[in-house]
Amino acid sequence: MSDAHLLVLSPYIALAATAVVVMLTTAFYHRHLLLAGLTATGLAATFACVLVAGAEDRRATALLRMNDVSLYFIGLLVVVALAVVALSYGYLGRTERRFGDFYTLLTLGALGGAVLAASAHFASLFLGLEVLSVSLYGLIAYPRRRPQAVEAAFKYLVLAAVTSAMLLFGMALVYAVSGTMLLDKVASAGAGLAGWEAAAYKAGLALVFAGVGFKLALVPFHMWTPDVYQGGPAPVIAFLAAASKAAVFVVLLQSLAPLDPQRGGVLVVVLSVVAYASMLAGNLLALFQQNLKRLLAYSSIAQLGYLVVAVVSSGAAGGARGAGTVAVAFYLTIYALALLAAFGVIAVLAHAEGEPEALSQYRGLGHRRPALALVLSVSLLSLAGMPLTAGFIGKFFIFRAGAGAAQWGLLVVFALTSAMSLYYYLRVIITMYRLEVAPYAAALATSPGGMSAGRRAADRVAVAALVLLTASTLLLGVYPPVLLRLIEHAASVFR
């Protein structure tokens, strides 16, 4: 292993080292600030490693392929994890007494995601997915005195285990007939097969796709999402929604990259159907939700549907591949920003007994905590795709990619469901700015003053992180070139 290899792998080394250090420190000094600080430092160091790892397309090991796209997403994962640390610090301080394992699990989850982002092989795909999922079981069940959280974790555990089994079986089938586990060979390995071998190959791919679909919560594999989102602790769900989905999505994007669009006919059809179903079901089910967390769950199903539109378009002929990748990378970024901010607001408003979930609890929040209401409004508007927020630019790119691939049917549904989505996002916003104030929001007015100094500081850290996320959402909406240059450079590996 040469120095260059070490450099490429340095983000993984940094993440793994952080996990170990935090775990060991937990055993001896159980101080919350120290643990959170160590985690944040480790993540920051990882981000520095991502910056210096600057990679050409090179296979770091047989399992990992590091290119600019994977590096971009590892960077995104690390930033998301950092934001989750900032949100969790206050949240855990208010609701829990043990902290250490939380940060270890979080770092491990980020590590799993990072492996996924660069996986080039079935083995690394599976490993990454399992590391990510197993840490998520622990994270979701972390408030173990809260039955909803434990229930959500079990639901996730059972379904994810079934999914993993399907994934493994699918991989086995594909390997049995094609003899390869390399992702970029798998896609084209089916060409020469016939008879039962072709059938087994197709069944294997279908199973693998179902496994990925479960993780992404695409319709028809979305059933777990609302329950898990509702039961899990808000910062963890923010991580689940933003980081884990982004990581899995990169696999989808990267493994489809060598696929010949002309021969990918069936796959394009399957993806289109999934995109139609996710956009329609997600948005329709969100319309009349009275529970903010469930609403966000359905909305994230719809958002992933939009992303599949971009993936379908990236499979088109000609120069559109770059456009699709740019759309996916940009949209995943702004989706992560928005969901982090939305769940972050819920996390900041949570107390020891639970989190505010019912929309009615948010009535009048705009007068009691104007900053939080503004953060939630901007992130919801961004999810809805309002101009001047990053969401608009993101949707714009998906449109461009779709128009380039002439996917007019998908685009029309995309446009109409986006219009529909505004209804439920705006319902939340107008609830927050209603003139009358709900008891829950009313109680908030007094609580910041009554907090201890430490808690107030933690609250400030979280609010500062949220404001930063919101500011980035707005900045990317007004002047997207700041991020676009980076993404377009990264996406040029697919040209």
Residues near another protein (CB under 8 A): 381, 386-388, 392, 396, 399-400, 403-404, 411-412, 415-416, 418-419, 422-423, 426-427, 430, 433-435, 479-481, 484, 488
Residue 327 beta carbon to another protein: minimum distance, rounded to whole angstroms: 12
Residue 335 beta carbon to another protein: minimum distance, rounded to whole angstroms: 19
Please identify, using beta-carbon distances, which residue of 6 and 412 lies nearer to another protein. Answer: 412
Whether residue 220 has a cis bond before it, omega within 30° of 0:
yes
Residue 458 beta carbon to another protein: minimum distance, rounded to whole angstroms: 27
CB of 298 closer than 8 Å to CB of 286: yes
Burial class (CB in 10 A: 0-12, 13-18, 19+), 373: buried
Report how far apart, in Å, the C-alpha atoms of 411 and of each of 54, 159, 233, 257 are. Answer: 35, 32, 35, 22
Burial class (CB in 10 A: 0-12, 13-18, 19+), 1: exposed
Residue 313 beta carbon to another protein: minimum distance, rounded to whole angstroms: 12
d(CA 156, CA 151): 9
Q: What are the DSSP calls for 210-228, one per residue?
A: HHHHHHHT-TTS-THHHHH
Please identify, using beta-carbon distances, which residue of 273 and 482 lies nearer to another protein. Answer: 482
Nearest of 59, 55, 69 to residue 121 by alpha carbon: 59
Please identify, using beta-carbon distances, which residue of 63 and 405 lies nearer to another protein. Answer: 405
Please identify, using beta-carbon distances, which residue of 160 and 393 lies nearer to another protein. Answer: 393
Nearest of 426, 417, 423 to residue 380 by alpha carbon: 426
Please identify, using beta-carbon distances, which residue of 242 and 432 lies nearer to another protein. Answer: 432
Residue 429 beta carbon to another protein: minimum distance, rounded to whole angstroms: 9
CB of 112 closer than 8 Å to CB of 130: yes
d(CA 105, CA 86): 15
CB of 428 closer than 8 Å to CB of 292: yes
Residue 218 beta carbon to another protein: minimum distance, rounded to whole angstroms: 23
Please identify, using beta-carbon distances, which residue of 82 and 411 lies nearer to another protein. Answer: 411
Residue with the two structure tokens 């992130």: 379
Please identify, using beta-carbon distances, which residue of 258 and 387 lies nearer to another protein. Answer: 387
CB of 448 closer than 8 Å to CB of 375: no
Please identify, using beta-carbon distances, which residue of 221 and 330 lies nearer to another protein. Answer: 330
Token readout for 401 is 């990619």
Residues contacting residue 14 through CB under 8 Å, at least 6 positions apart = 42, 45, 46, 49
Please identify, using beta-carbon distances, which residue of 386 and 465 lies nearer to another protein. Answer: 386
Local structure of 182: helix, strand or coil: strand
Local structure of 352: helix, strand or coil: coil
Residue 57 beta carbon to another protein: minimum distance, rounded to whole angstroms: 23
Residue 22 beta carbon to another protein: minimum distance, rounded to whole angstroms: 41
Residue 423 beta carbon to another protein: minimum distance, rounded to whole angstroms: 6
CB of 90 closer than 8 Å to CB of 461: yes
Please identify, using beta-carbon distances, which residue of 301 and 487 lies nearer to another protein. Answer: 487
Please identify, using beta-carbon distances, which residue of 183 and 285 lies nearer to another protein. Answer: 285
Q: For helices 195-216 and 122-140, give the axis angle rounded to 10 degrees.
A: 30
Nearest of 14, 17, 77 to residue 46 by alpha carbon: 14
d(CA 480, CA 108): 32
CB of 346 closer than 8 Å to CB of 88: no
Residue 295 beta carbon to another protein: minimum distance, rounded to whole angstroms: 16
Residue 404 beta carbon to another protein: minimum distance, rounded to whole angstroms: 7
Please identify, using beta-carbon distances, which residue of 171 and 411 lies nearer to another protein. Answer: 411
CB of 342 closer than 8 Å to CB of 296: yes
Local structure of 207: helix, strand or coil: helix
Residue 406 beta carbon to another protein: minimum distance, rounded to whole angstroms: 9
Please identify, using beta-carbon distances, which residue of 358 and 419 lies nearer to another protein. Answer: 419
Residue 248 beta carbon to another protein: minimum distance, rounded to whole angstroms: 28
Token readout for 300 is 């994230």
